[in-house]
Every structure is written in structure tokens, then in C-alpha cells.
Structure 1
Amino acid sequence: MTEPDGPVAVIGTGVIGAGWAALFLAAGREVVAHDPGVGAEERLRDDVARLWPSLARLGMADGGVPDRLTFTDDPAEAVSEAVFVQENGPERSDIKQRLFTTLDQAAAPNTVIASSSSGIAPSQLQAMCTRYPERVLVGHPFHPCHLIPLVEVVPGPGTSETAIDRAMTVYSSLGKRPIRIRQELPGHVVNRLQAALWQEAYSLVERGVASVADIDAAISYGPGLRWALLGPLVNQHLSGGPGGLAHVLEHLGPPTEQWMRDLRPARLSPALVEQLVSGVDEELSGIDPNELVAQRDELLIQLLEAKRGRTALP
């Protein structure tokens, strides 16, 4: 599908919205932004300026300049000429209801309305739109969204194939790696995978099996290094040698099933929350948080640069 030409509307310009705005601008798009917060325009322009050097490292499209950003106090005005809408409002159904009613009334019939929501289902968002619910879907990014390529494209039961294809095309044009989620589930897919890991991590800390710092090291110095290059199933396949995944599942499937059955639920009691928070505070003691983020982002950029052109990586 040919990508629609015209301005993009970014509705809600907090951390996620600012990342989207900067990314669209770097891709050479005109961006019309809206956020009702006091001082939102100044914060957005400061955020775009702060993110711009990282995006420049990864490569700008022709016409990629921050000057193509405009701001309006009226959400209807923001989407009136937009060919694509990325909504990033608070995760509250009452706020979404008011906002989506406005967006649905003001946006052109063929304009896709994509929400960054991680917790509100696309079918709920569609129910808020009486005019053209078939163009509504979730386009869920991951923080920092100006760097992390993944976007979950989650259609609702009434989303049209045209809207899905258009969203996939728009996200791909930004250098994103969109994946289509084929069933509506709480948390979509990636947050469910993360939740499975968090559940066992919380449980291991609660039971005194490992410290917070050791849990983090177990991932960041272990499988997390491989996961940044290949997914868990392909990594498992490679660990099977010539026999691949079939060999792994034949020989390690039974004990793996035993481990999965032994995983423990975790309830976020006040005591466990305090244990987790104090553990992270201890792990990060003496580390400048700004430098931590800067080094994380620098390594993310280096990794993305290194992965480019590695055609054997799916």
C-alpha cells in the first residue's frame, strides 16, 4: 500500500507522544501536535530538540527538520487535515471516551486513528467512535519509542484490512518493525511476555532466591544479550545444533515443562513492593540516573546501527 501523503497528528505529547512526534519529523513528515497540559508546547519542542541528535545518528529522511512541527490547543483542529493520527492520552477510559469522540468526528473518513495504549483494548476504543470505528486500532510502541523499532499493531474486531495495512505502511516508513497481533488480549503480546518474566522475577525475590541486582544481572548479562539479536524461539532453535528446535524440544521439553509448572505466582503486596523498590535503589546507588539513560540510549543506537545490514537476522 502507498503511504498517504500529508500531515500527521500526534495527540498527547508526554514521553511517548514526544518520541512519536520527533520520529515523524525525522522521517520528513509534517506534524500537528496537541496536548491540553499547561506548557505542553514548550516541553514538546524541548523534547524534540533533546531527541534530535539520536535520530540524526540513525539517519534522517529528506525534509526531516524539527521546523515542520506545529501545535494547537484544539484536538479537532489537529486532526482535521491529518492523514494519520497517533493518540497518546492518559490510560483512562473516561478521558479516552471524550478524546476519541472528538477525533472520530473531526478526522477525515480514511484517516487511521492509532492509539499507543498498552491497557485499553482496540474494541473499547472502537466503541467510542460512532462515525468510523473501522479505522481505529492500537499502535503500541516501546520506550524509548524514538529508538526501539517494535510497534504492536492491534486491530479490533471491526478494524478494516485497509486501516491495518495503512498503519503497517506508515510505521514501516519510520523504520519501525511493526508486528500484527491477531487476537485481542489484555496487554497485547509483548507486555504479556514481559509480565511472565516479571512474575517469576518478583517471586524469586520474594522467596529470597536471588537479589534484585542478581535478577537483573541474570538477564542483562545472560539471555538478554542474545534476545537483543534474535527472539527466544530462534535462540532456542540455535541451541539445538544441527537438530535445531526439534532436538531441543525432544530432549529438554519434559524438564522445561516441569520448570514451567514450578513457576510461582507473585502478589504485589506492600512488603514485596518495598523489597523490589529498595532493591533497585540499592542496585543503582551511586549511579547518575541521567548518565544511566544516556549510556542506555547510546548502546541502543550502536546496537541498531550494528544490526543494519545483517541480513541473516530475521
Structure 2
Amino acid sequence: MSISKAACIGGGVIGAGWVARLVLNGIDVSIYDPDPEAKRKVGEVMRGARRAYKRMATNGLPKEGKITYAKTIAEAVADADLIQESVPERLDLKHKVLAEIDMHAPSSALVGSSTSGIKPTDMQVAMKNHPERLVVGHPFNPVYLLPLVEIVGGRDTWPEAIELASEIYASIGMKPVVIRKEIEAFVGDRLLEAAWREALWLVKDGICTVEELDDIMRYGFGLRWAQMGMFQVYRIAGGEAGMRHFMAQFGPCLSWPWTKLMDVPEFNDELVDLIATQSDEQSSKWSIRELEKIRDDNLVAIMEALSTQNGGKGWGAGALHKDYVRQLGKTGAGGSAAAAKARATKPKKAVKATKKKG
């Protein structure tokens, strides 16, 4: 399904990434962010996103949606079909912002939170009118390129809202994955946090430097994970006997004292200095904007390579990328009249606010 207008509350790294993905799909976006530098910061992200999209969407792009900067949340959410909240990870701030969104947004609008770890049930308590329309829509940076979005419903979230969220996010080229049970940090960040904790110990204990650790990931299993994930890779590692053989062979390792995942290194100035100094040695020759360009080019290249696999049908993120590029190209060269008409049409589905369903 298509939407015609979105609102982004918060214009930081994640919020600006949402703005870029939405605008480059031809959707008008209204932004509210009290930061006086918000317009500049969003503009920087937009420049990087345009560059990446021009490289990957060789058949053309839709006519860009219009960006407006609202003075209040009420102004931003007026007439929005999707409202994406991306404010800092403080529950009190989430409550304040979501309460204001709930007060002023159209009753049919879907509200998505970009939170990376707060449970939606804990946020819904601030929404006195329509808590049933709140979902977590947790993306990954850069939002305009990485397709994954984790969708999580809270205690009061209606099934229709989760279905609507999946359709809206899929319509802008994303891969929605609905998380079956509501837990803090969901799935993606739990995996990242486990690896991050182990990485901090390995550097702190002098086993490797940050650059050596990154090399181990990007020259090794990171390439496997990029195209198959964990379980499919391990199935292959089991040989012809598959996953059962892999589990039988490596299962005993789970009890070996290999990991410090249940322990956390003390977060102090010494640890910060160690990591930051090694990170500077690794990457200070590039500015952050230069690193963003390198990252975006690499991501586009990987997805393009995967799009040619599996007999030309594409594989994993490459298959989705292939379809997304085709979708963008349908309204290339400024956008077709049909696409413009579609953008001006209200979504056919909305979160019904008349009666609750179990």
C-alpha cells in the first residue's frame, strides 16, 4: 500500500535516515526537531542518501517528496499517514513526545517508534487516546539503505496495526520482521550487544586491537552473515548431515569457558581511552562523511552483487534490493502521473479506532 504523507519526530542519525528513505520514495515528510542544527544535519544525510540512490537506482527515481520543518509536533503530525518517532532513548522523553503525538495525530495514522530497546507496552501508557496504533519500527543505520525493520507490538497494539506497519514499511523497500514476543532490545540489538561485549573484553585484555577485530569480522564470518545469516551458514558447516551434525559436533562448546558474555568490563575512562585511541589510529584519516560514503558504496555493491545470484532472481538482501530498484524505476525521470496520483491518495487501510479487537 502507498502513503502520501509522513511525519518524522526527531531528526538525528536515525530520524534523518527515515526522512531520506521516505522522501526518496516520493513521500512528503514533515519534520519536528527542536535542535537548531536539525535542518543542516538532515540536509547532510539527504545528500549522502541521494548519492547512494542515484548509484543504485540506475533506471530512475520517483519525484522526491517535499520536506517541511514544523514548529510543533502538532503541526508536524497533521494529516500524516505514518508518524515515525526517533527521539533519544529516554522513557520520560518518549512518554512526553508520544502523548503529544497521540493528542494531535489523525486517529487513522500509524505511529512507529524507532526505539532500539524500550518495550512498546512501556511507551503506550502515555497514549491515552489510541495506544492500539503504536508499534516499534526499529531500523538499522543507514535507514535509507539497510532494509531490515523489526516490528514489535505492545500489550495494547492491535493486530491490524502490525499488519499495516508491515505493509507500509514493505512499500518503501524494507524487510519487515515481526518479533513474536515483546522483549527489551528485540532481536537485532541483542545479537549486536552480545558481540559488542565480547569485543570490548578482547580489546581490553590485549588479545587484539579494534582494527584487528574488525578485520576478523569483515574478512571472515561477516561476509557469510551478509548473505545467509547464522543458522543457514552453520547448517552448511554440518556437511551433508546438516544442522543435527553441527549441533552434535559443536554443542559441547557451549559449556566451555570461552566467553565473557555474562560479565561486563568496567566502563571507565581507561576503557573509553583505549577504544577511542585505537579507533582514531584505525580511521582518523577519513572524516565521518567520507566513512559514510565508503559505507554506502560498499552496501550498494554488496546488495547489487547479491541481486545477480540465484539464477538472476537474487539472494537474500539482493533479491529485495532487485525488487526495490525496479519499484523505484517505475516512477523514474521525475515520476509518472499515476505515481503522483497514488501519492495524493489516502491509504486504503487505517488503524480502526472505533472498537477494540482481542
Confirm or deny: 8 A CA contact 1:200 1:264 kept in the other structure: no
CA distance in 2, matches of 1:309, 1:25: 27
Find the partner of 1:243 among 241, 244, 262: 241
Confirm or deny: 8 A CA contact 1:89 1:96 kept in the other structure: yes
Confirm or deny: 8 A CA contact 2:102 2:128 kept in the other structure: yes
**SS of equivalent to 2:83:** strand
Alpha carbons of structure 1 residues 31 and 292: separation in structure 2 relative to 1, 3 Å: closer
Alpha carbons of structure 1 residues 143 and 261: separation in structure 2 relative to 1, 3 Å: closer
CA distance in 2, matches of 1:236, 1:210: 25
Residue pairs, 1:88-103, within 5 angstroms: 88-103=86-101
Alpha carbons of structure 1 residues 161 and 271: separation in structure 2 relative to 1, 3 Å: same
Shift in Å at residue 260 of structure 1? 5.7
CA distance in 2, matches of 1:265, 1:302: 37
- Which one has more relative contact order, counting CA pairs under 8 Å at least 6 apart? 2
Q: 1:306 — aligned with what?
A: 305
User: Cα RMSD over matched residues?
Assistant: 2.3
Q: 1:276 — aligned with what?
A: 275
Shift in Å at residue 185 of structure 1? 1.8
Question: How many residues of Structure 1 are paired with residues of Structure 2 in the alignment?
Answer: 312
Confirm or deny: 8 A CA contact 1:22 1:66 kept in the other structure: no
Q: Which moved more, 1:32-41 or 1:76-85?
A: 32-41
Confirm or deny: 8 A CA contact 2:32 2:73 kept in the other structure: yes
Shift in Å at residue 81 of structure 1? 0.5
Shift in Å at residue 135 of structure 1? 0.5
Letter in 1 for 2:29: V
Q: 2:175 — aligned with what?
A: 177
CA distance in 1, matches of 2:30, 2:285: 41
Confirm or deny: 8 A CA contact 1:28 1:60 kept in the other structure: no
Q: 1:293 — aligned with what?
A: 292
Shift in Å at residue 287 of structure 1? 4.3
Shift in Å at residue 264 of structure 1? 6.0
Q: 2:197 — aligned with what?
A: 199
**SS of equivalent to 1:271:** helix
Q: Deviations over 1:39-83 (max 9, x none)?
A: 433543453234212123333999733352222112112212011
Confirm or deny: 8 A CA contact 2:27 2:64 kept in the other structure: no
Alpha carbons of structure 1 residues 199 and 43: separation in structure 2 relative to 1, 3 Å: closer
Confirm or deny: 8 A CA contact 1:29 1:64 kept in the other structure: no
Shift in Å at residue 285 of structure 1? 4.9
Q: Unaligned 5+ residue runs, structure 2?
A: 317-358
TM-score, with length taken from structure 2: 0.80
CA distance in 2, matches of 1:20, 1:198: 25
CA distance in 1, matches of 2:68, 2:260: 54
Shift in Å at residue 181 of structure 1? 1.1
Shift in Å at residue 201 of structure 1? 1.3
CA distance in 1, matches of 2:281, 2:36: 35
Shift in Å at residue 244 of structure 1? 1.3
**SS of equivalent to 2:144:** coil
Q: 1:25 — aligned with what?
A: 23
Residue pairs, 1:97-112, within 5 angstroms: 97-112=95-110
Q: Unaligned 5+ residue runs, structure 1?
A: none
Q: Which moved more, 1:33-42 or 1:75-84?
A: 33-42
Confirm or deny: 8 A CA contact 2:85 2:112 kept in the other structure: yes
CA distance in 1, matches of 2:170, 2:263: 37
Confirm or deny: 8 A CA contact 1:203 1:264 kept in the other structure: no
CA distance in 1, matches of 2:205, 2:127: 47
Letter in 2 for 1:279: Q
Q: 1:51 — aligned with what?
A: 49
**SS of equivalent to 1:32:** strand
TM-score, with length taken from structure 1: 0.91
Q: Does 1:232 align with 2:230?
A: yes
